[in-house]
Amino acid sequence: MKRLSNKLRPNCMNESSEEYYQRVSPQLPNFPPEVVSQWLFHHFDSVMHRYSWLDFRSLVFSPQTWSTEDILAKVTAWNETAVENWKKALLTNQGFQSSRLGRYMISEGTWPVPPIIFNNTTDIKRKWQ
């Protein structure tokens, strides 16, 4: 995965998320453009830190519609404390509130893109590095 991660690293100063998708999509044939943009282009280092042990080439994504109730009942974060800290920052921190993401979430009451949910039905555990 190390060689692949080097090829996947975005050059945010010199390429748009669309250009990035065009460059990396041959290496990630099952990744929709939205996932490449949201997950890899915007959060590359975090994704590599947490998920580089996964075989990215074999991952499959499917768009789905879930009710708010289902999301709240069935989805858990890898780090609930982090979620609570982000929530607190959104509600109280002016710096976060004035960021592009903060402004969007405050005005729209949701994320700018649908969340990416890892369907871990086989209880896959993270391989610590």
Residues 71 and 53 in one domain: no
Residue 98 lies in a domain: yes
Mark whether 70 and 114 lie in a shared domain. yes
CA-based nearest residue to 90, from 76, 104, 78: 104
Q: Please provide the average confidence, as pLDDT, over all residues in the chain.
A: 85
> Maximum CA pair distance of the chain?
42
Instruction: Decide: residue 10, CB within 10 A, 0-12 exposed, 13-18 middle, 19+ buried.
Output: buried
- How many domains are there within the chain? 2
Nearest to 36 by CA among 3, 8, 2: 8
Where in 25-123 does DSSP place strands (E)? none
Q: What is the dihedral of CA 21, 87, 112, 51, to 10 degrees?
A: 20
What is the pTM (predicted TM-score) of this model?
A: 0.72
48 and 29 part of one domain: yes
What pLDDT, on a 0 to 100 scale, did the predictor assign at position 129? 45
**What is the per-residue pLDDT for 78?**
72
The token pair that represents 42 in the structure block:
């915007």
Q: Do 76 and 118 belong to one domain? A: yes
Q: Flag whether pLDDT at 109 surpasses 60.
A: yes
- 86-95 pLDDT, tens digit per residue, is 889 888 999 9
pLDDT of residue 2 exceeding 80: no
Q: Is the pLDDT of residue 127 over 60?
A: no
Whether 10 and 45 map to the same domain: the answer is yes
pLDDT at 59 over 50: yes
Q: Within this chain, do residues 118 and 99 fall inside the same structural domain, yes or no?
A: yes
Question: Tokens for 5?
Answer: 């991660």
Full domain range(s) for residue 107: 64-124
